[in-house]
Structure 1
Amino acid sequence: MTPRDAERDPAAGRAGGTPQAPAGRWSDLDRPPLDAAALRRGLVRAGALWTGLEVVPRTGSTNSDLVARAAAGKAAEGTVLVAEEQTSGRGRLDRQWSAPARSGLFFSVLLRPAGVPVARWGWLPLLTGVAVATGLSRAAGVDTSLKWPNDLLVTVGGEERKAGGILAERAGTDGVVVGVGLNVSLRADELPVPQAGSLALANAVSTDRDPLLRAVLRSLEDWYGRWRDAEGDPAASGVQETYVAGCATLGRTVRAELPGDRALVGEAVAVDGDGRLVIATPDGAREPVGAGDIVHLRPA
């Protein structure tokens, strides 16, 4: 039985008829709970992007919850919803994402990019990837690279592994909820698949989630502000250049699996102004594919 199982079942762990103390919020001392009050003091202030921050012990999906709140008019731009555990976390195409309680950062933010053409909103998940990577570089000392369109990669034992993902969803006509799931302290025996990773396995200098979350949200506030001030122009804001510099997909031969059992194989050569991946095929053509067109993107 894992610590996570014991936390869910207070009766677990009893032996010889002698009851043990119920598992509680401090049952795994390597994974203390987030300090919501301290996070609010550090992030929510006059003139800042972040207008509210809530930490819940458990939920299905922070994205689903925040989209619902926005639809009901109960969330302002800059609302941050964090969960200590997600039971129905989702990635692109409704792929499932799960991890033990308090082993990662699972949060969603509500953005309302007024003044930015809707056609440029597709840059928000890519911008978030840049923000997470730069924030973690400072706070965790980990070199995080980006797999187009929405994966966060770390190096474990010389091998690139997925440690996180990003999901953006529309919230009404004027909003976008962007969710981030990041494995922080996940141990090797807890990995959902052998190809997964975590900051701990990548030898991060810190796995203290409070400063990590503050660093990531401050970085996101900075990059979102630059992008919004440039009316969503990815070049003028520096988002496109920085994304390209940190994108592990570029320069590699990939196989893009598309709807209708169609596949496109070639070298990933660029990310264009619309955030699409440009693939150079063997016949010399260059074909851009959008995140919404991709079923899978794999090395070829």
Structure 2
Amino acid sequence: MTPREPSENRWSDLDRPPLNVMSLRRGLVREGGLWRGVEVVRSTGSTNSDLVALAVAGKAEEGAVLVAEEQTAGRGRLDRQWSAPPRSGLFFSVLLRPAEVPVARWGWLPLLTGVAVATGLSRAAGVDTALKWPNDLLVTVGGEERKAGGILAERAGDDMVVLGVGINVTLREDELPVPQAGSLALANAVSTDRDTLLRAVLRTLEDWYGRWRAAGGDPAASGLQETYAAGCATLGRTVRAELPGDRSLIGEAVAIDGDGRLVIATEEGVQEPVGAGDIVHLRLA
């Protein structure tokens, strides 16, 4: 789907004003910084798909940021669909090229993005955002954990990665795609100004990416492994891991290992690292 550029008449919902692309560029694009350009489109199928295509075609460089006011075919992990009303959230993708980091450590990039998003939202929205392994963003609504966002990483050729982020910002209860979903507004955010939130998240992402890259992708030396574990709501919980091959594993989530995998301790006393799968929080351990 070809992205549609912002039109002049975009103020149909005054509670959900459009992003100010010029302000975003002034606040994020600077000499020597990571972000090389910020583009905002009115609507597209998926910012990740668009940015991957641009990168593969040689039309985007590291630090490109693509934001959509509306995604009509947004995707999460396991090809799950992600949709929301126009201008009700932040839907964006960034292109990274961590050439100095061994490919074996690139699996930390979605976890790094989760740390950056949670930190940025805590600062700018005043919302305590927890991380569900590997890449869900959780907020508390009425004492209940709910998913308010997610992260998707995709390779673009051999040497680039596109990271997509979707965050529900102003969704109301009657607009939620499923009852278990949430939004920053429902979590009593002190600010739902999307320009402010996006700047905070991208600045924090730039900081963490710089630290991780300077450490050669080492999650311990960069502080990423410790920080992710501290903000991970999955650790200390009894979980069920739905694994490839229709296998499931139940146990306590006890650690995040050096490869970013979730370590689950079973009742049999076995500690099994899980690198891929769907995690269900059952209860506190």
Tell me the TM-score range normalised by the shorter chain. Answer: over 0.9
Q: 2-side partners of 1:262 and 1:195: how far apart?
A: 24
Could you say which residue in structure 1 is the equivalent of 2:280? Answer: 298
* TM-score, normalised via structure 2 length: 0.95
Alignment map for 1:200-211 (pairs within 5 Å): 200-211=185-196
TM-score computed with the length of structure 1 as normaliser: 0.91
Cα distance, 1:93 vs structure 2: 1.2
Equivalent position of 2:22 in the other structure: 37
2:4 is aligned to none
Runs (4+) of structure 1 moved beyond 3 Å? none
The one-letter code sitting in structure 1 at the alignment partner of 2:191 is S
1:35-74 equivalences under 5 Å are 35-74=20-59
Q: CA deviation at 1:277?
A: 0.2
Bigger-Rg structure (1/2): 1
Correspondence for 1:10: none
Give the Å deviation of 1:299: 2.4
2:175 aligns with 190
Q: Which residue in 1 is equivalent to 2:270?
A: 285
Say yes or no: does 1:86 pair with 2:71. yes
* Letter of the 2:135 counterpart: N
Q: Tell me the matched-pair count.
A: 275
1:53-74 deviation line (CA, Å, top 9, x unaligned): 1000000000000000000000
Letter in structure 2 aligned against 1:136: L
CA shift, 1:135, in A, is 0.5
Query: For 1:212-236, what per-residue CA distance to the aligned partner results, in whole angstroms no more than 9, with x for missing partners?
Result: 0000000000000000000000011
Q: Distance in 2 between matches of 1:220 and 1:231?
A: 16
Give CA-to-partner distance per residue, 1:101-154, whole Å, 9 cap, x none: 000000000000011000000000000000000001110000000000010000
Q: Deviations over 1:277-298 (max 9, x none)?
A: 00001010100010xx31x211
Give the whole-Å Cα distance in 2 for the aligned partners of 1:126 and 1:138: 19
How far apart, in 1, do the equivalents of 2:244 and 2:202 lie? 35
Distance 1:285 1:261 in 2: 20
Q: State the alpha-carbon separation in 1 of the partners of residues 203 and 155 from structure 2.
A: 22
Equivalence for 2:207: 222
Paired with 1:73 and 1:174, the residues of 2 have a C-alpha distance of: 12
Q: Secondary structure at the match of 2:15?
A: coil
Looking at structure 1, the residues matched to 192 and 281 of structure 2 have their Cα atoms a distance apart, in angstroms, of: 30
Q: Measure the CA separation in 1 of the matches of 2:95 and 2:179.
A: 33
- 1:156 and 1:112 map into 2 onto residues whose CA distance is 37
User: How far does residue 159 in structure 1 lie from its aligned partner after superposition?
Assistant: 0.5
Q: Distance in 2 between matches of 1:157 and 1:74?
A: 45
* 1:259 CA drift (Å): 1.9
Matched residues in 1 for 2:129 and 2:53: separation?
31
Aligned to 2:166, the other structure's residue is in SS state: strand
Describe the SS at the equivalent of 1:250.
coil
Which stretches in structure 1 are left out of the alignment for 5+ residues? 1-22
Cα displacement (A) at 1:24: 3.9
1:141 is aligned with what amino acid?
G
CA-based RMSD of the aligned residues comes to 0.9
How far 1:260 moved relative to its partner? Answer: 1.9
Matching residue of 2:225: 240
SS in 2 for 1:99: coil
Matches within 5 A, 1:1-300: 24-290=9-275, 293-294=276-277, 296-300=278-282
Give the whole-Å Cα distance in 1 for the aligned partners of 2:245 and 2:156: 29
Equivalents in 2 of 1:226, 1:128: separation in Å?
A: 13
Give the superposition deviation at 1:258: 1.1
1:163-199 superposed Cα distances (whole Å, 9 cap, x missing partner): 0000000011110000000000001110000100000
> 1 CA distance for matches of 2:280 and 2:201?
27
Paired-residue identity, %: 83
